[in-house]
Chains A and B, each alone.
Chain A
Amino acid sequence: MNSDVFAPWEDPQAKPLIQFQNVTKRFGGFTAIDNLSLDIFEREFFALLGPSGCGKTTMMRMLAGFETPTEGHILLSGQDIDPVPPNKRAVNMMFQSYALFPHLSVWDNIAFGLRRDNMPKTDLEARVEEMLRLTRLEQFARRKPHQISGGQRQRVALARSLAKAPKLLLLDEPLGALDKKLRQDTQFELMDIQEKTGTTFVIVTHDQEEAMTVASRVAVMDQGQLKQVATPDRIYENPNSVYVADFIGDVNIIEGRATATGDEAFQIDWAEGQAPLTATSSAGVSNGQSCHLAIRPEKVTISAERPADAINAIQGKVHDIAYLGNLSTYYVELANGTIIKAQTANTRRISRRSFTWEDPVWLSWTATAAVLLAN
């Protein structure tokens, strides 16, 4: 592994900044977090991703100190922080609603946390100015929160939570209230600021694109459990379950029965009258085991004739076309009624599109394109 690449999670010597040790959190009879263990390292940009109600916000609130684990412990720099109240933790949070104090100016909002530490006046002023510069808010310092735009408010919230130079910054859906264009710009700004300050960021989001863009590692959560924790590319390319594959991006899931044909090579029988599919997998799949095959639509090639060298090829007809401008997704119906999605980049003008509705087409993909998931 290249030592320049930031990947402390691959280094067994690295000491995690945060450790969840078998943490369980129950609200009455409802289990929000179920026996969860997780390490987050210093300088990481860690994303908690999942549908609403999966427990990601509860994890964040436990880190901030607003909730305490029912069982297990959370360690910050090796210290158990369960008994530490929120105001004594070196952890700051950027709230989803931003929670800016409406009666204070932008300047005073940013200075709020520093004042609680009784920071000397000159240091405090210097720090606030630094934060204003970092978030490009200098000319709005005297305004009240209701006098600035949503994007500016978001930056004030970020500046305020960064002002105390926390060991850990928590971001609860930080970009949720922004429109799409602004959100994309802000994502890069966030990454930039994270790099500049060297703070560990933990972001909670339900937007997978956002998580993939900003994070060094992504944890996909469901019903209080971690489904997979990995870098964005591994999550996308090597999902470890149908749930993760389905949650992140678009995917075709084919159900079948695997038969080993060689070293890490498998043959999957999936439908009556269809040729078996070929896939490789390093995961141990036993003979005859029922399995799922996950194939990303952009890895499926669509063509009029059967490609001569294709390992996996199936025939169908175009059922529907979703035209997205830069991409087109073809919904191809197979003889048995299954719909397979194939995505192509629209490199040519739409008038010269090769396929249209009801055209018979061939779908093909390589042996390594699909991910074989054991049940």
Chain B
Amino acid sequence: MRRVLLIAIPYVWLLALFMVPFFIVLKISLSDSALAIPPYLPTLDLSEGWAGIRNFFSQLDLENFVWLAEDDLYWKAYLSSVKIAVISTVLTLLVGYPFAYGMARAPEEWRPTLMMLVILPFWTSFLIRVYAWMGILSEGGYLNQLLLWTGIISTPLTILNTPTAVYIGIVYTYLPFMILPIYSALERLDGSLIEAAEDLGCSRLQAFWLVTIPLSRPGIIAGCFLVMIPVIGEFVIPSLLGGSGTLMIGKVLWEEFFSNRDWPVASAVAIVLLLILIVPIVLFQRNQQKQTEAEQ
């Protein structure tokens, strides 16, 4: 009995805070937009009894999903989001791996400090940090000032409101999510394995490629998913740093909800986004599970 209760807690939690909202969104996505409060039809009226419920269900349709498929804005936005997510994940990995490697190789007494420095940005609001990047990347911003001062460039670069700014913002924001899992994989790596590889004829680089990389793979995979999954739906970074030129589904979603007030279409966008994310989430879970099994 106690075990059932214990297991029931997370299930009730999931049901109340994930499944119920999900079904509400699903219901809205099947409704029609209307000038009303709430801004969609039909609404469920239980006072009419059984006939009301039947009437309600008969009015639901897949019209909004058809609309999503027909208007190329949406699938372009999805594609562009996935593209941006994949590219920025690769960039984050390229930046993050050396960080994690350096941390794992640092003297033991330094590691907590280095870890602290990686987590430190979380102490400030994410929004403020993205705003700070606007100040750095803008035409008269610190970066351009520095480059002009050192004489590397003669005219200021346009970085803000370009995809480059979005990539910079994403890599900066999500770097800790990449570093931490890779670091934890590298830290556990037994140094004698590298020596054994060298002893058996590997150069330093070969040993890194044949031993260090494969053994940190669970960390790499975990880090990549932790970055890619939230980036696909990212809204703040593209809207603050990317300007109007950057098309991302998170931004489209926001505009449908708050500018167009078309809740049903926005909900449909959200549902499709969720379906897209399920694939990497399942893969991520499987990776984590395999890792725990391997450790036992």
Min Cβ gap A326→B in Å is: 39
Beyond A103-B215, A113-B201, list 15 extra A-B contacts (CB 8 Å).
A65-B199, A85-B198, A87-B199, A87-B200, A91-B199, A93-B196, A95-B196, A97-B190, A97-B192, A99-B195, A99-B196, A101-B196, A101-B211, A102-B294, A161-B199
Q: Does B193 contact A (CB under 8 A)?
A: yes
Contact flag A101-B193 (CB < 8 Å), given A113-B200, A113-B201 = yes
Q: How many A-B residue pairs have CB under 8 A?
A: 58
Q: Which of B190, B202, B217 contacts A87, CB < 8 Å? A: B202
Q: Which residues of A contact B190 (CB under 8 A)?
A: 97, 99
Interface size on B (CB < 8 Å)? 19
What per-residue 1/0 map shows which CB atoms of A71-114 lie under 8 Å from chain B?
A: 00000000000000111000111011101011100000000110
Q: Interface residue tally of chain A, by bracket?
A: 20 to 34
18 A-B Cβ contacts within 8 A? A64-B199, A65-B199, A87-B202, A87-B203, A93-B195, A93-B196, A95-B195, A96-B192, A101-B197, A101-B211, A102-B294, A103-B215, A116-B206, A117-B201, A146-B294, A161-B199, A161-B200, A164-B200
Q: Which of B198, B199, B206, B215 contacts A102, CB < 8 Å? A: B215
Residue of A nearest to B214 (CB): A103
Contact flag A99-B192 (CB < 8 Å), given A87-B203, A116-B206, A146-B294 = yes
Q: Does A56 contact B (CB under 8 A)?
A: no
Which 6 interchain pairs have the tightest Cβ spacing? Answer: A116-B201, A113-B200, A99-B196, A99-B192, A86-B198, A103-B214
B195 touches A66 (CB 8 A): yes
Q: Which residues of A contact B215 (CB under 8 A)?
A: 101-103
Cα-based distance from A101 to B209 in the complex (angstroms): 13
User: Contact residues of A with B, CB < 8 Å?
Assistant: 64-66, 85-87, 91-93, 95-97, 99, 101-103, 112-113, 116-117, 146, 160-161, 164
Q: Which residues of A contact B192 (CB under 8 A)?
A: 95-97, 99
Q: Which residues of B contact A65 (CB under 8 A)?
A: 199
Contact flag A112-B200 (CB < 8 Å), given A95-B192, A101-B211 = yes
B195 touches A86 (CB 8 A): yes
Residue of B192, B195, B201, B217 ringed by the most chain A CB atoms within 10 A: B201
Residue of B nearest to A95 (CB): B192
Contact flag A116-B200 (CB < 8 Å), given A102-B215, A103-B214, A103-B215 = yes
Cα-based distance from A87 to B195 in the complex (angstroms): 9
